[in-house]
Amino acid sequence: MIKAVRREIKEELNIKPLKITDLKFKIVVEIPSGIDVRFLEHDEPHSWYSVENLPKILTYPKQIKPVNLIKGML
């Protein structure tokens, strides 16, 4: 699974992940900071947020709880 995630990130974003963590129910990927990441096949609008900043941005408590769980696992 981790090899597939690494391959897809390289194919879709053209970056090398710093760290990939398998949490059994989700895969968390750490990418280098300070680079402009764009999808190679599409120019879809997107935003990237650190795990630390997600609770400030998310609006629903049901979204924030899993983020805090993931932060605790990392």
Is 0.85 topped by the overall pTM? no
Q: What is the pLDDT of residue 44?
A: 67
Name the residue range of residue 43's domain: 2-73
> 46 versus 58: which is more confidently predicted?
58
- Structurally, the chain folds into a number of domains equal to 1
- pLDDT, tens only, 1-53: 788 888 888 888 888 888 888 777 677 777 777 777 776 676 666 677 788 88
Q: 19, 46, 45, 51: which is closest to 32 by C-alpha?
A: 19
